[in-house]
Structure 1
Amino acid sequence: MDLPVIESSPPVAAGCSAGSCGSTASQMDGLSDDIRARVQDHPCYSEEAHHYFARMHVAVAPACNIQCHYCNRKYDCANESRPGVVSELLMPDQAVRKTLAVAATIPQMSVLGIAGPGDPLANPQRTFETFRQLALQAPDIKLCVSTNGLVLPEYVEELARYDIDHVTITINCVDPEVGARIYPWIFWKNRRVFGREAAAILIKQQQQGLEMLTARGILAKVNSVLIPGVNDHHLPEVSKIVKAKGAFLHNVMPLIAEAEHGTFYGVMGQRSPKPAELKALQDACEGDMNMMRHCRQCRADAVGLLGEDRGAEFTLDKIEAMDIDYEAAMVVRAELRAQIAADLAEKRAQAHAPAAPQVTPQVIHFQPHAAKPAPAAGRPVLMAVAAKNGLVAVHFGHAKEFLVYEASASGARLVGHRKAESYCAGDENCGDADLVLARTIQALEDCEVVLCSRIGYEPWGELEAAGIQPNGEHAMQPIEEAVIAVWHEMLVAGRLTAGSTAAKRA
């Protein structure tokens, strides 16, 4: 006989299974089984895998064949975190030694990419010699390349030769008039070409290269830089066209335009997009293309998990001083990566397992003759999470970035991240740097909740005064599980009435 129960708990979000509430699935929806299998453990492509697998970039490509208004390459800089910046330029032999040292020290490192500081395909000898050596000495590492696409068509076959099956192309426009506002010149067939003509050549080459990659079975991701007032209204069209030509993923990134970086846009006062503008544009593109939302716009010599940079541990002088038993390290590496892959496979299987048949209980209503209203759906809520390795595991004052999730009745999905400055000097000594705290709060201004492992009294009060609710009650829980739990608490408390702006800051 079925036992009676009393309806009291909030409904489980649709499509949300325990421990996995759809943030990864949202990015993988629409991909074929073949593509999903090829990218699901790639930290630069999978929202889930970047918590477990590490990547590194080697800076062997100093020259570039185009000029972008948002780019200023720096070859000896350790103080900036953005594309085009490196601490050391490497020759291929040095890059291979560094890769092997990182692989031995960080066993979960699974991907090696060449992304600059110039364009890898404008430096073909250095790029392909690096790939040739790594294919022989580290065959378990996936090889990737990022390019502006100007000479991509002539190197597609060479990329395939080294089993490079992931390529990123930066495509900021498909209209030469827009391109002329982004690229002042290109170097094409031994001469500089300027303005609209330059943009037209670049666009043609990018699209031809994308089509050739697709035909060759090489996965292509497209990066686009969102530049307010220049290509913001144009990027949905870019997304449609690159999808039609075979790109499987689109990564719309915010323009980095601080004047101190010395870029043309920075010096001329071109603003960067606000977080809400970036999210709105990504949402507008998402109907036509799978969107990537966890990109960190990494340095050209980045090392480690996304969101961290351990490159300073692996400078050439430090590598020379390392005493590494490479044979033993590779055994440990293989075992650890196999365990991670098995754990992820089990997690995915559990998340997609069919629900067990439910016995319909006899429900006791307190008012048996009154119709019970359907539970309120609740509006979406943005929540910032101080996270590490997929868990709510960072003290608010120690956080150098926050992951931003949108929680709703459909589950939790990652929609971006916000960089921050760590201002806390110790577990019990927070809140000294008022300016840093103010900047962090400003970066999170569109979020309603901040989840962290701990938080001090002063930042708690400042966040509440700004209309952001701190929450330290879900420390060490999986991110999606914690986010959905908080969303349900808000739903039960009546704070999620659809369309109520007052409720958002209640």
Structure 2
Amino acid sequence: MTSDEKVILSQHPCFNHKVSRWFTRLHLPVATCCNIRCRYCSREYDCVNENRPGVASRPLPPRHVLKSVYNILSQDERIRVIGVAGPGEPLASNETIDALKRVHERYPHIIKCVSTNGLMLEDSIDQLESVGVKTITVTVNAVDPIIGSKIYSAVFYNNKPYQGIAGAKLLLNKQLAGIREARKRGMLVKVNTVLIPGINHHHLNQVAIAVKEAGAFIMNLVPFFPQAEFTLLPATSDGVLDGAKHELEPIIRQTKQNYQCFC
């Protein structure tokens, strides 16, 4: 384990729940665009995959980031992580790199984190590395394109739309390539997976195996809440979530918290 990884695991509550009693993280809502359409996500609200305590629905302009960070750090000395998770897709928004660059230049000692759908991760890895990003969260909901096509209605890459199985296959290939490249750069990777009853519930073993092989360090199962095109599906119960985590633990480390973790 590298010295950077030791620091991360001693301070980042999303990668090590034991330190959550001492340390916390700050979310910068600077990313507004999105490049995929999830059937469980309504753009009228914050993405179901990115709901967090204290989330802000109003975007923060990068020029206001340092003032906001300073004010919050002066009030909470427990913050060890600053990340970007939304409210859109961070790597589809130029504001993400701009904001993180400002933060890294002023606070180089604080862990920088990005939560992404993974479509642009491999393409953005040089920029992320240059602004000090050490941890990445990638949302991977399926590794079977047929199942993926039930979750994503469209994927937009290089100004071209991809739908159905083609879109899901493109997204998956980019996600796994991005995870592998992030690990090559020494970044720790966490995978978020939304457990959607009746859609990917019985597919989680394959997801866990694939992301572990790609280099993911830990996996966070996210409870599903019915909305958008999946309004009629049942919500994920605590029992189902806990059972799935227990089943996947031998494959890849599982987070302990039962809430959406952005970074």
- When normalised by structure 1's length, the TM-score is 0.49
Is 1:134 equivalent to 2:126 in the alignment? no
1:87 to partner: Cα distance? 3.3
Which runs of 5 or more structure 1 residues have no equivalent in the other structure? 1-31, 301-506
State how 1:268-347 maps to structure 2 within 5 Å.
269-294=232-257, 296-297=259-260
Partners of 2:218 and 2:262 lie apart in 1 by: 21
Selected match of 1:177 from 134, 137, 146 = 146
In 2, distance between residues paired with 1:280 and 1:33?
33
Tell me by how many angstroms 1:241 deviates. 1.2
Correspondences of 1:208-287 after superposition (within 5 Å): 208-257=177-226, 262-266=227-231, 269-287=232-250
User: Structure 1's 37 and 136: CA in aligned 2 closer, same or farther, altered over 3 A?
Assistant: closer
Q: Which residue of 1 aligns with 2:123?
A: 154
Counterpart residue identity of residue 121, structure 1: L
Structure 1 residues 199-225: Cα deviation after superposition (integer angstroms, max 9, x where no partner) = 000000000001111111111111100
Residue by residue over 1:18-68, the C-alpha shift from the partner in whole angstroms, topping out at 9 and shown as x without a partner, is: xxxxxxxxxxxxxx5754443122122211111111211011101100011
Give the 4+ runs in structure 1 shifted more than 3 A. 32-37
Amino acid at match of 2:260: Q
Aligned length: 258
Question: Relative to 1, partners in 2 of residues 1:86 and 1:38: Cα closer, same or farther, differing over 3 Å?
Answer: closer
Q: CA deviation at 1:292?
A: 0.7
Task: Please name the residue that 1:110 is paired with.
Answer: 80
How much identity, in percent, do the aligned residues show? 33
Matched letter for residue 256 of structure 2: R
- Distance between the aligned counterparts of 1:243 and 1:281, measured in 2? 16
Conservation of the 8 A alpha-carbon contact between 2:57 and 2:87: no
Q: For 1:43 and 1:195, locate their aligned partners in 2 and report how far apart those are by CA, in whole Å.
A: 36
Residues of 2 paired with 1:153 and 1:251: CA distance?
21
TM-score by length of 2: 0.92
Rate the CA distance shift 1:87–1:112 in 2: closer, same or farther, 3 A.
Answer: same
Once the two structures are superposed, residues 456-488 of structure 1 have per-residue CA deviations (whole angstroms, 9 ceiling, x without a partner) of xxxxxxxxxxxxxxxxxxxxxxxxxxxxxxxxx
8 A contact 1:170–1:222 mirrored in 2: yes
Q: Mark the CA change 1:165 to 1:139 in structure 2 (over 3 Å): closer, same or farther.
A: same
Q: Kindly indicate whether structure 1 or structure 2 has the higher relative contact order, using CA contacts under 8 Å at least 6 residues apart.
A: 2
Q: Secondary structure at the match of 1:169?
A: strand
Confirm or deny: 8 A CA contact 1:74 1:117 kept in the other structure: no
Matched, 1:73 2:43: yes
Query: What is aligned with 1:189?
Result: 158
Contact 1:147 1:168 in 2 (8 A): yes
Equivalents in 1 of 2:75, 2:30: separation in Å?
21
Distance 2:146 2:38 in 1: 15
What is the distance in 1 between the residues matched to 2:83 and 2:189?
A: 14
For residues 259 and 109 of structure 2, the distance between their equivalents in structure 1, rounded to whole angstroms, comes to 24
- Once residues 112 and 190 of structure 1 are traced to their aligned partners in structure 2, the CA distance between those partners, rounded to angstroms, is 30
Contact between 1:74 and 1:86, CA under 8 Å: does it hold in 2?
no
Following superposition, the deviation at residue 108 of structure 1 comes to 1.2
Which residues of 2 match residues 338-487 of structure 1 at below 5 A?
Answer: none
Report the 3-state secondary structure (helix = DSSP H, G, I; strand = E; otherwise coil) of the residue aligned with 2:254.
Answer: coil
Amino acid at match of 1:194: Q
* Aligned 8 A contact 1:44 1:295 in 2: no
Partner Cα distance (2:26, 2:148) in 1 = 30
The Cα shift of 1:298 comes to: 5.4
Give the alignment of 1:21-36 within 5 angstroms. Answer: 32=1, 35-36=5-6
Q: Which has the higher helix share?
A: 2
